[in-house]
Amino acid sequence: MTSLSWRRVLLDGLWRQNPGLVQLLGLCPLLAVTTTTAYGLGLGLSTLLVLSCSGLLVSLTRRWVAPHIRIPVFVLIIAGLVTAVDILMQAWVFELHRVLGLFVPLIVTNCAIIARAEAFASRQVAGYAVLDGIAHGTGFAVVLIVMGFVRELLGAGTVFADMDMLFGPLAATWKIHVHEGFLLMILPPGAFFVLAALVAARNAVVARTLQSTNRESAPVVTSTS
Amino acid sequence: MDIAKRRQLLPIVAFTVLTVLTAAGLSALSAQTAERIVANQRAWDMRQINELLSAAEYDNDVFSDVIAVGSADPDVQLLGPGAPHEILRATQNGQPVAVIVRVTAANGYSGPIDLLVAIYADGTLAGVRTARHRETPGLGDRIEITRSAWITGFNGRSLQDPAVEDWAIRRDDGVFDQITGASVTSRAVTSAIRDALRYFEAHKASVFAAQNAAGDSAQ
């Protein structure tokens, strides 16, 4: 295994192995919930919390978990965390929880979480495991927020609607109404279009960086006549 | 016990302990937050009620003054599927002011639509709000007050205004405009409201006279 550093762990989760744009995991909530920035942010923060805590707990208990029962243990930890997050959301952000509905408990089925538990947290010390959870969770959350922002702006014609569900009544003033909205963008096809555009954009950035690094290291060819 | 058996047993014991700890932790969390969650739910319901009836109009706690219309009631199908249906009663100084009936429109486009129908004691509509539905965003979901004002078109109406035969959408020779592109949804909601009014008209006296105990059927 190549050497691990906190920088590498962060970069992996945020960019190189971004759950939403590279691994393409957790697509169900990604596509369904991102109709406004607020909903994307809400679900993103919940998933981030679950990912970080599951990283911590899976790592701390790794010595007592025999290989043949590791999957049930991971599921237990993740389901317990999601249940806790579900209860906390009902207590503190009730309206947002009502809007997100089914997708809060469905965080359990987000493959990104159990994938990180299996591939990383169960083999690393707690510090790196938590950092990895934070990195992947943040990477996923950023995609949720960007998608929510774009779909809301194009589909509903607003910016920052329903922010008061997360930040309290004052945040209701953040809402800006720009235009009437293009309905398709807040329906499922629009979700696919926006995700495709984001993945393509990321791929383009990667290709361009690769190109420029290749150009720098390639020997200069001069023709000899 | 020999070493091999102990090795096999340890992970199982550890797993069991982890399960018990998780269950205990979640129970504790649930108990700690239960009061707050109930209060949130109550505030949410209250907000819906306040859109229909102003607080000045009644002085009782509508959530404690509830009767349930069960399947024993011959007219229960007027309130839609999913009996028992709750009727919250609003009174002022013990006098009947209004009721809020939870009805279900069975024929929504994407499934049943739960509605809160507020009716004054004289049979006029105070208003209607959607409680739960799965209608198409941008089309059927315009029955929600946050999406359009269509649902306020029923305020002040009654079974005399318009007459029962005209209680339908324009397309069905009635007087109510349907939501453009969502006639199925509009039709379902309109007929559910009409049927709620019909139920109230037939059972008005017993609804207010019935003993206050959720779970009892109104006679």
pLDDT tens readout for residues A115-145:
999 999 999 999 999 999 999 999 999 999 9
Q: Compare A178 and A193 and report the one with higher pLDDT.
A: A193
Q: Give the minimum alpha-carbon distance from A83 to chain B in angstroms, rounded to a whole number.
A: 8
CA B84 to chain centre: 11
CA B168 to chain centre: 22
Kindly report whether the peptide bond that precedes residue B74 is cis, defined as omega within 30 degrees of 0: no
User: CA angle at residue B209 from B207 to B212, to 5 degrees?
Assistant: 85
H runs (alpha helix) in chain A: 6-11, 27-33, 37-60, 70-92, 94-100, 111-119, 126-151, 164-167, 188-217
pLDDT tens digit string along A31-86?
A: 988 999 999 999 999 999 999 999 999 999 998 888 888 999 999 999 999 999 99
Cα angle value A193/A199/A200 (rounded, 5°):
85
C-alpha span between B119 and B116 (Å, rounded): 10
pLDDT at B183 over 90: yes
Question: How far apart are the C-alpha atoms of B8 and B5, rounded to whole Å?
Answer: 5
| Cis-peptide, bond into residue A29, ω within 30° of zero | no
Q: How far is B157 from chain A (nearest CA, A)?
A: 31
Residue B213 has pLDDT above 80, yes or no: no
Q: Is A77 in Cβ contact with B14 (below 8 Å)?
A: no
pLDDT band of B194, cuts 50, 70, 90: very high
Of B11, B19, B137, the CB nearest to A76: B19
Interface of A with B (CB under 8 A): 35, 61, 64-66, 68-69, 72-73, 76-77, 80, 83-84, 87-88, 90-92, 94-95, 98, 183, 186-187
Give pLDDT, residue B85: 92
Q: Does the interface predicted TM-score (ipTM) exceed 0.90?
A: no
Confidence band (pLDDT; 50, 70, 90) for B1?
low
Q: What angle do CA B54, B57, B61 make, to 5 degrees?
A: 90
Q: What SS3 class is residue B130?
A: strand
CA torsion, points A145, A149, A151, A155, in degrees to nearest 10?
150
pLDDT score, position A41: 95
Nearest to B44 among A66, A94, A187 (CB): A94
Looking at the partner chain, which of B22, B30, B36 has a beta carbon nearest the beta carbon of A76?
A: B22
- Top residue of B9, B21, B26 to mutate, by most chain A CBs within 10 Å, is B26
Cα B169 to Cα A200, B87, B111, B127, B129: the distances in Å are 47, 26, 19, 17, 18
Residue B158 has φ and ψ, to the nearest 5°, of: -155, -175
For residue B34, give the DSSP letter. H
Nearest CA in chain B to A101: B132
Phi first, then psi, for residue B116 (nearest 5°) are: -110, 115
Q: Tens digit of pLDDT for each residue in B30-88?
A: 999 999 998 998 888 788 888 889 888 888 888 888 888 888 888 888 999 988 899 99
Rounded Cα distance between B149 and B128, Å, is 11
Q: Give me the residue label for tokens 């209607």.
A: B128
Name beta bridge partners: B96. B91
Q: According to the model, what pLDDT value does residue A221 have?
A: 62
Could you report the per-residue pLDDT of A157-173, keeping only the tens digit for each? 999 998 988 898 888 88
User: Residue A225 pLDDT more than 60?
Assistant: no
The pTM assigned to this predicted structure is 0.77
Which chain B residues contact residue A83 at CB under 8 A?
26
B19–A91 C-beta distance less than 8 A = no
Strand-by-strand arrangement of the B85-92 sheet? B66-69, B85-92, B95-105, B113-120, B125-132
Residue of A49, A53, A58, A76 for testing the chain B interface, max B β-carbons within 10 Å: A76
Element (H, E) at B190: helix B183-209
Lowest mean pLDDT among A210-219, B64-73, B121-130, B158-167: A210-219
